[in-house]
């Protein structure tokens, strides 16, 4: 069945039932742009239990989480409100407005997230300690935007078809929305990076879109040996199951404990937990208390997908806008409805090569990718996808009213061709023309402007009361969890990583 035939079979109610939520990461920084090494602000509540404000790898790395929304505008309004709450609580600190970090302290001085004394809080911290030992803390400070998307009535088979096509076509998103073409020289120090020097302080590539998604970003040589199949849920689950349970010699060498008896990591397998698997997109399911994510997928199937390749756009107050969200909606629905043949190990390797090329050279004229074993220009492939997606955008507008989807899709096509309009090109131009070749100065300035913009609108007294109560409730909930713990942490850890928990209901009480 063709894309157009599948579109005709969808009624307007299903199209209107599409839902999305956003997770946005960002480092807290001091007025001079250096990393804030203060604890997670107490006024924001508990990072362990707050529903909207938590931390990612670092105590200094905020993660803002919206609820699930049927309308793009509602989702972005909530993200903006969360941003405003956070920024008005940070004193003289800012939230870094770019994916790649600015000036960082040595790895040992980057504060790792702390979640209290409960077993689950300790597990979250030990998992992050493991990440620091395995990949280094610098890499973990890279921030991004995750777009969680679901479609009513979609089956696990539908979502895996989407994922296969997403992985084939994600080069298009890197070209359109990549916004990390430069890094500080210090970030790449001691690594074979292959970047050009823009100044003594900044490295870049002239046609890069997203160094965050390239070799300096969220890549793992160890995980590159994983050839995960996305042909069905069973094959995907089996691939991850092995990575989560079989000891990996280099990580066995790190060990679980340090010489003083403290913890270095949760496990010695290739992946400590499911979230350690680096992928541009993940099949997801809301988990129950005490349940491992892989078990949830195996038992109840895929509920939504998590898009993980989106950079923070430093020119936007909250890093993403309605235009970007609508393009993502069309892109994802197109990927779900288009023909999606099974993948193969050879294609999986080719797609990884395509992704790295799009990250480092995605605006380069004439750049060639590989499709079905044959070379094709990124420009030709991308334009074909954009032309095919017009019908999807028009169907969304017919269901939702107005012309917003078609307008955004047409703008995406225009930007795709006029590369100087792309965020990555605009970032490089700004750094070169306005900030003497200093990426950190550009990002710090943007961070201050974002704070000024969002703090220019104050929360009402009622809104402040709601957020204070939410913070207080989260602190009380963390205290309750800590007071009810009876199991020693080592027994908790062993129970949590028990392979049985990946296939039958586990007995521990949350995920890391």
pLDDT at 180: 98
Q: What is the pTM of this model?
A: 0.96
Burial degree of 414 (CB within 10 A; 0-12, 13-18, 19+): exposed
pLDDT at 506: 41
Q: How far is 281 from 276, CA to CA, in rounded Å?
A: 13
Does 373 score more than 50 pLDDT? yes
Does 293 score more than 80 pLDDT? yes
Which residue reads 């270095």 in tokens?
Answer: 264
Burial degree of 222 (CB within 10 A; 0-12, 13-18, 19+): middle
pLDDT at 190: 86
- Whether 510 and 121 have beta carbons less than 8 Å apart is answered as no
- In 3-state terms, what secondary structure has residue 410? helix
What band does 219 get if pLDDT is binned at 50, 70 and 90? low
- In 3-state terms, what secondary structure has residue 306? strand
Does 145 score more than 50 pLDDT? yes
Q: How far is 284 from 480, CA to CA, in rounded Å?
A: 28
Among 115-124, 259-268, 393-402, 494-503, name the one with the lowest average pLDDT.
494-503
Beta-strand pair 304-310/145-150: antiparallel
What is the 3 state secondary structure string of 249-284? Answer: HHHHHHCCECCCCCECCCCCECCCCHHHCCCCEEEE
What band does 229 get if pLDDT is binned at 50, 70 and 90? confident
In Å, how far are 29, 175, 229, 325 from 225, measured between CA atoms? Answer: 36, 26, 13, 33
Q: What percent of the chain has pLDDT over 90?
A: 92
For the record, the structure tokens of 60 come out as 């200094």
Q: How far is 5 from 59, CA to CA, in rounded Å?
A: 49
Q: How far is 383 from 365, CA to CA, in rounded Å?
A: 14
CA angle, residues 485, 124, 85, in degrees to nearest 5: 100
Which residue reads 């019908």 in tokens?
Answer: 391
- Residues β-bridged to residue 304: 284
CA nearest 310: which of 179, 215, 447, 220? 179
Q: How far is 268 from 359, CA to CA, in rounded Å?
A: 31
* DSSP line for 478-494: HHHHHHH--S-HHHHHH
pLDDT at 503: 85
Which helix (H) or strand (E) element contains residue 467? helix 461-484
- Whether 67 and 437 have beta carbons less than 8 Å apart is answered as no
CA nearest 447: which of 24, 8, 134, 31? 31
Which helix (H) or strand (E) element contains residue 495? helix 489-497
Q: How far is 170 from 164, CA to CA, in rounded Å?
A: 10
- Mean of per-residue pLDDT scores for the chain: 95
pLDDT at 95: 98
What band does 512 get if pLDDT is binned at 50, 70 and 90? low
* DSSP label at residue 26: E
- In 3-state terms, what secondary structure has residue 181? coil
Which residue reads 């290739």 in tokens?
Answer: 270
Indicate the fold that domain 3-180+187-502 takes in CATH.
Creatine Kinase; Chain A, domain 2 (3.30.590)
pLDDT at 218: 67
Burial degree of 226 (CB within 10 A; 0-12, 13-18, 19+): middle
Q: How far is 76 from 92, CA to CA, in rounded Å?
A: 25
C-beta neighbour count of 10 within 10 angstroms: 17
For 16-73, what is each residue's pLDDT tens digit?
Answer: 999 999 999 999 999 999 999 999 999 999 999 999 999 999 999 999 999 999 999 9
The domain locations on the chain are 3-180+187-502
φ, ψ at 203 (rounded to 5°): -115, 150
pLDDT at 505: 45
Which residues are within 8 A (CB) of 488 and not within 5 positions of it... i.e. 6 or more apart? none
Does 330 score more than 80 pLDDT? yes
For the record, the structure tokens of 422 come out as 């792309």
pLDDT at 215: 87
Q: How many residues does this entry show for the chain?
A: 512
- Residues β-bridged to residue 305: 149, 283
- Whether 99 and 212 have beta carbons less than 8 Å apart is answered as yes
What band does 223 get if pLDDT is binned at 50, 70 and 90? confident
In Å, how far are 74, 142, 409, 442 from 60, measured between CA atoms? Answer: 28, 12, 36, 20
Which helix (H) or strand (E) element contains residue 24? strand 19-29
Does 510 score more than 50 pLDDT? no
CA angle, residues 132, 135, 136, in degrees to nearest 5: 50
Torsion of CA 447, 452, 454, 458, to 10 degrees: 150
What band does 220 get if pLDDT is binned at 50, 70 and 90? low
Does 12 score more than 80 pLDDT? yes
Q: Provide mean pLDDT across the span 145-156.
A: 98
């Amino acid at each position: 069945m063709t894309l157009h035939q599948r579109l005709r079979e969808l009624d307007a109610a299903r199209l209107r039932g599409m839902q999305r939520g956003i997770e946005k990461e960002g480092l807290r920084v001091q007025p001079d742009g250096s990393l804030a090494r203060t604890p997670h602000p107490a006024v924001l509540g508990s990072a362990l239990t707050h529903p909207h404000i938590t931390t990612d790898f670092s105590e200094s790395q905020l993660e803002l989480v919206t609820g699930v929304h049927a309308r793009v505008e509602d989702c972005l309004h909530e993200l903006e409100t969360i941003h405003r709450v956070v920024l008005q609580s940070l004193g003289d600190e800012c939230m870094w407005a770019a994916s790649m970090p600015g000036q960082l302290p040595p790895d040992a001085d980057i504060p790792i997230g702390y979640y209290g004394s409960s077993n689950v809080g300790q597990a979250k911290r030990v998992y992050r300690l493991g990440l620091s030992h395995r990949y280094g803390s610098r890499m973990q400070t890279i921030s991004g935007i995750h777009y969680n998307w679901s479609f009513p009535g979609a089956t696990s088979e539908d979502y895996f078809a989407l994922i296969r096509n997403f992985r084939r076509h994600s080069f298009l998103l890197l070209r359109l929305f990549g916004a990390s073409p430069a890094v500080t020289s210090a970030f790449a120090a001691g690594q074979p990076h292959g970047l050009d020097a823009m100044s003594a302080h900044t490295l870049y590539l002239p046609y890069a879109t997203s160094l965050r998604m390239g070799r300096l970003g969220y890549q793992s040589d160890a995980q590159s040996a994983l050839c995960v199949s996305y042909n069905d849920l069973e094959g995907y689950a089996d691939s991850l199951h092995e990575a989560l349970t079989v000891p990996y010699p280099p990580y066995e060498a790190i060990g679980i404990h340090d010489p003083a008896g403290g913890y270095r990591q949760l496990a010695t397998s290739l992946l400590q937990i499911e979230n350690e698997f680096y992928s541009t997109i993940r099949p997801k399911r809301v988990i129950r208390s005490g349940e491992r994510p892989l078990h949830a997928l195996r038992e109840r199937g895929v509920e939504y997908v998590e898009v993980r390749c989106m950079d923070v756009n430093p020119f936007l107050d909250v890093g993403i806008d309605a235009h970007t969200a609508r393009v993502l909606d069309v892109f994802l629905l197109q990927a779900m409805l288009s023909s999606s043949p099974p993948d193969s190990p050879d294609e999986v390797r080719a797609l990884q090569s395509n992704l790295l090329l799009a990250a480092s050279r995605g605006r380069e004229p004439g750049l060639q990718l590989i499709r079905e074993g044959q070379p094709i220009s990124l420009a030709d492939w991308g334009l074909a996808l954009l032309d095919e997606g017009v019908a999807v955008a028009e169907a969304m507008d017919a269901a939702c009213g107005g012309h917003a989807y078609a307008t955004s899709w047409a703008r995406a096509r225009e930007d795709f061709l006029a590369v100087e309009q792309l965020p990555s090109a605009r970032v490089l131009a700004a750094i070169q023309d306005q900030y003497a070749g200093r990426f950190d100065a550009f990002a710090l300035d943007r961070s201050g402007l974002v704070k000024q913009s969002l703090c220019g609108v104050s929360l009402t007294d009622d809104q402040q009361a709601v957020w204070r109560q939410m913070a207080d409730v989260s602190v009380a909930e963390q205290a309750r969890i800590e007071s009810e713990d009876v199991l020693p942490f080592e027994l908790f850890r062993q129970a949590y990583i028990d392979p049985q928990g990946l296939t039958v209901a586990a007995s521990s009480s949350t995920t890391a």
